[in-house]
Chains A and B, each alone.
Chain A
Amino acid sequence: MDNKNIMIVGVGGQGTLLTSRILGKLATISGFDVKLSEVHGMAQRGGSVVTFVRYGEKVAEPIVEEGQADVLIAFERLEALRYLHFLKKDGVVIVNDWRIDPITVVTRVASYPENIIDTLKASRKTIVVEATKEAKKMGMPKAFNVIVLGAAARHMGFAKESWIHVIETTVPEKTVEVNKKAFEIGYGLSV
């Protein structure tokens, strides 16, 4: 198998770190060599964040470069568009259909692009998930990221049971049930 290159992108504070760690752990216990790259510090404060997960027989560099991602998981529309060119031509983007205005839009220096979902669809295979809306509906607004992960799970080659097992052993104990439920919802959405 060629190395799998996954990117998780979003807005600082949306939980890209937790999500990439779930995936990293899953790939590790599945016997792969794994490298993850994260963002800490100032960028986490509401900025655009990206984490990389690579797994396979032997992984050298810990980053995913332009045109090399198999899967792009985006917690926000604009961030999906920002990193779309990182995807391979046959790569897939899983996007949370949710808008968070960057400060440049709030202060009217820039405007939020229209029709992002259509742009994504015209370029790459695109799976749209209403994760934030679903999570709110379920009364667990913060678990939207695991819903998105659930929707992306089918594109990463691991069994559903393995995902559930890793979630159980990775997320804080108090949130295990919520996160398992969120994963199930996401997994169901991507059929």
Chain B
Amino acid sequence: MAEKKILLGNEAIARGAYEAGVKVASAYPGTPSTEISESLAKYDEVYAEWAPNEKVATEVAIGASIAGVRSMCAMKHVGVNVAADPLYTAAYTGVRGGMVLVAADDPGMYSSQNEQDSRMVARAAMVPVLEPSDSAEAKEFMKYAYELSETYDTPMMLRTTTRLSYSQGVVELCPREEREDIAYERDPAKFVMMPGNAIKRHLVVEARMKKMAEDACHFSINRVEYKDRSVGFITSGIPYQYVKEAMPNASVLKLGLVHPLPRKLIEEFASNVDRLYIVEELEPVIEEQVKSWGISKAVGKEIFTVQGEYSANMIREKVLGEKNEVDTPAQVPARPPILCPGCPHRSVYTVLNKLKIHGAGDIGCYTLGAVAPLSVIDTTICMGASISTLHGMEKAKGKEYIKNWVAVIGDSTFMHTGINSLMNMVYNQSSGTVLILDNSTTGMTGHQDHAATGKTLKGQVVPAINIYQLCRSLGIEHVYEVDAFDQEELTKIIRQETKRDAVSVIITKAPCALLKGVKFPNVCRPNSDQCKKCGACLKPGCPALTRNEDGTISIDETMCNGCGLCMQLCKFHAIEKTERN
């Protein structure tokens, strides 16, 4: 009997790639996609890597496909934007070895800056999309995606969402399919996309999508489940589970391929049910097409939201009018995420807060500097934007305007796209100050290596790109490395460099407090006798500190990492750093 295992959606996607015989995989970490690559890297037969960004990852996969092997790239939804340039043209060239781009959407924005729907991008790029609805399907659909990719000569997208990626379900494991590499053959008409060739390839793309749409009426992953025909649902992905949970006796057309759509199959299903609902999270991608064919009884976003996640309760309420009788939720204080105890970002932000400096922010844990009590980050747009938005502010309002501003970016994000923005600052003569918060890892996604950490996804030790030297090599004269916990030195250098009429880079260094191998031999202990109850130590909002009823403070030693920030802020020496018991 085949081995059964309970796997995370992301682990199942990786397992599918492994079983399909994938040889090369490239990715940039991003919730909810990160574990796909981490899991894939554990298979010896697969080469898996972290690329600096999603554009690079996609091009690596394209290259491997052209070289004749099955390849994969994985990213979160906003990463698909970064990868859009190669993706759109890869649809024109098609593939040699099968190629799949895994796009992980985040309905409900658990860990993202927007709620975009990757199916919209895929439609624009004319790339077919598969959408599984549990771990078992995630694995099977990956394998099927490679078959379709090679049969139809197209890159494929497999779309997952946070709920699928981070749900575990039972999966049956199969052996890996060992595949012969496809021999290389020069084919410029297919792979050199200059106008003369691309004009012809565009016709190929249109014809391919048309053919696939027709064939898809017979794909087994597009499945009709006829039961009670008074109500029918067209759905896919995780929403299928909500439909089954809410109305197990309704008829369902479950789409495994969500682009292109199997028109005849949908029209037939629509004519066989009395009422028709289209249940899809986020954008009305299926619905708008179905309605454009004149199927006017279809009901979708008139009753279902375009925001956040769905649920069985929601479907019961909207379709059956059944309101779930539950207790009113208790009125309790919110508990938003915060920087961890011992986080080096807290120390840097304490200085910015003290100096009343605004931060043009970026994507990472350090975005949390936007909220009280630190409140130093004023903007967050996308990966790498901190540096370029600060540059734009200066060009709009002049050098003086940004004297109380800095750009704040993490080491991994800097390597992702921040470096491009810094090149622009040098070239176009900015005077901005850039803070690179170097915590030696990609923190928020759960500690992934990158080009400046000296270790690969496969665990190989390699030369680390030196961020200091990299910045110096751009011709920037004023580059500093400072201990992120040294309040005095940080204050001095930030004050000095924000005044300067030239671009400068301050690299604040200290490893993420959660990074494996980082030891915390010390804890901070309060001395109530010397405490003047001023509350200065509480200002940075370290969760290990609480104020006692008499105004003195307590420090929770299981949480305290002994970073010593609170100690540095206490003028009365009422906190000391001592060895952990």
Q: Which residues of A contact B (CB under 8 A)?
A: 11-13, 21, 24-25, 28, 33-48, 59-63, 65-67, 78-79, 81-82, 84-85, 100-107, 109-113, 119, 123, 136, 141-142
Assess whether A34 is in contact with B169, with CB atoms less than 8 Å apart.
Answer: yes
- Determine the chain B residues whose CB is within 8 A of the CB of A36 once the complex forms: 6, 167-169
Instruction: Give the complex CA separation of A59 and B135 in angstroms.
Output: 12
Partner of B326, one of A66, A136, A142: A66
Assess whether A41 is in contact with B445, with CB atoms less than 8 Å apart.
Answer: yes
Assess whether B546 is in contact with A63, with CB atoms less than 8 Å apart.
Answer: no
Assess whether A66 is in contact with B373, with CB atoms less than 8 Å apart.
Answer: no
Instruction: Give the complex CA separation of A48 and B334 in angstroms.
Output: 8
Assess whether A25 is in contact with B324, with CB atoms less than 8 Å apart.
Answer: no
Assess whether B340 is in contact with A13, with CB atoms less than 8 Å apart.
Answer: yes
Assess whether A85 is in contact with B166, with CB atoms less than 8 Å apart.
Answer: no
Assess whether B335 is in contact with A62, with CB atoms less than 8 Å apart.
Answer: no
Partner of B334, one of A35, A67, A104: A104
Assess whether A66 is in contact with B313, with CB atoms less than 8 Å apart.
Answer: yes
Known pairs A65-B313, A100-B543; A47 contacts B338 (CB<8 A): yes
Assess whether A40 is in contact with B168, with CB atoms less than 8 Å apart.
Answer: no
Assess whether A62 is in contact with B338, with CB atoms less than 8 Å apart.
Answer: no
- Nearest first, the 8 closest Cβ-Cβ pairs linking A and B are A41-B111, A41-B31, A110-B333, A47-B337, A102-B335, A67-B326, A62-B167, A36-B168
Assess whether B245 is in contact with A61, with CB atoms less than 8 Å apart.
Answer: yes
Assess whether B168 is in contact with A38, with CB atoms less than 8 Å apart.
Answer: yes
B454 touches A (CB below 8 Å): no
Partner of B338, one of A39, A41, A46, A81: A46
Instruction: Give the complex CA separation of A38 and B166 in angstroms.
Output: 5
Instruction: Give the complex CA separation of A130 and B446 in angstroms.
Output: 30
Assess whether B333 is in contact with A105, with CB atoms less than 8 Å apart.
Answer: yes
- Determine the chain A residues whose CB is within 8 A of the CB of B312 once the complex forms: 60-61, 65
What's the minimum C-beta distance from B67 to chain A, rounded to whole angstroms?
A: 33
Assess whether B333 is in contact with A78, with CB atoms less than 8 Å apart.
Answer: yes
- Determine the chain B residues whose CB is within 8 A of the CB of A35 once the complex forms: 134, 167-169
Q: Please, which residue of chain A has its CB at the minimum distance from the CB of B372? A: A107
Instruction: Give the complex CA separation of A41 and B96 in angstroms.
Output: 35
Q: List 23 A–B pairs whose Cβ atoms lie within 8 Å, in order of A's numbering.
A: A28-B5, A28-B6, A34-B6, A35-B168, A35-B169, A40-B35, A42-B111, A45-B337, A45-B368, A46-B335, A46-B338, A46-B543, A48-B334, A61-B244, A62-B169, A78-B332, A81-B332, A102-B336, A103-B335, A103-B338, A103-B541, A123-B327, A142-B558
Q: Please, which residue of chain A has its CB at the minimum distance from the CB of B326? A: A67
Assess whether A41 is in contact with B244, with CB atoms less than 8 Å apart.
Answer: no
B328 touches A (CB below 8 Å): yes
Q: Please, which residue of chain A has its CB at the minimum distance from the CB of B557? A: A141
Partner of B166, one of A24, A40, A100, A136: A40
Known pairs A36-B6, A62-B241; A44 contacts B337 (CB<8 A): yes
Known pairs A35-B168, A42-B110, A66-B313; A82 contacts B329 (CB<8 A): yes
Instruction: Give the complex CA separation of A35 and B167 in angstroms.
Output: 7
Instruction: Give the complex CA separation of A177 and B358 in angstroms.
Output: 50
Assess whether B163 is in contact with A62, with CB atoms less than 8 Å apart.
Answer: yes
Partner of B444, one of A24, A45, A123: A45
B209 touches A (CB below 8 Å): no
Partner of B31, one of A42, A46, A48, A63: A42
Assess whether A40 is in contact with B32, with CB atoms less than 8 Å apart.
Answer: yes
Q: Please, which residue of chain B has its CB at the minimum distance from the CB of A103? A: B338
B81 touches A (CB below 8 Å): no
B242 touches A (CB below 8 Å): yes
- Determine the chain A residues whose CB is within 8 A of the CB of B336 once the complex forms: 47, 102-104
- Which one of B4, B313, B334, B372 has the greatest number of beta carbons of chain A within 10 Å? B334
Q: Please, which residue of chain B has its CB at the minimum distance from the CB of A106? A: B541
Assess whether A141 is in contact with B558, with CB atoms less than 8 Å apart.
Answer: yes
- Determine the chain A residues whose CB is within 8 A of the CB of B568 once the complex forms: none
Assess whether A112 is in contact with B110, with CB atoms less than 8 Å apart.
Answer: no
What's the minimum C-beta distance from A92 to chain B, rounded to whole angstroms?
A: 15
Known pairs A65-B313, A82-B329; A101 contacts B546 (CB<8 A): yes
Assess whether A65 is in contact with B311, with CB atoms less than 8 Å apart.
Answer: yes
Instruction: Give the complex CA separation of A13 and B544 in angstroms.
Output: 13
Instruction: Give the complex CA separation of A103 and B312 in angstroms.
Output: 33
Assess whether B337 is in contact with A12, with CB atoms less than 8 Å apart.
Answer: yes
- Determine the chain B residues whose CB is within 8 A of the CB of A84 once the complex forms: 327, 329-330
- Determine the chain A residues whose CB is within 8 A of the CB of B338 once the complex forms: 45-47, 103
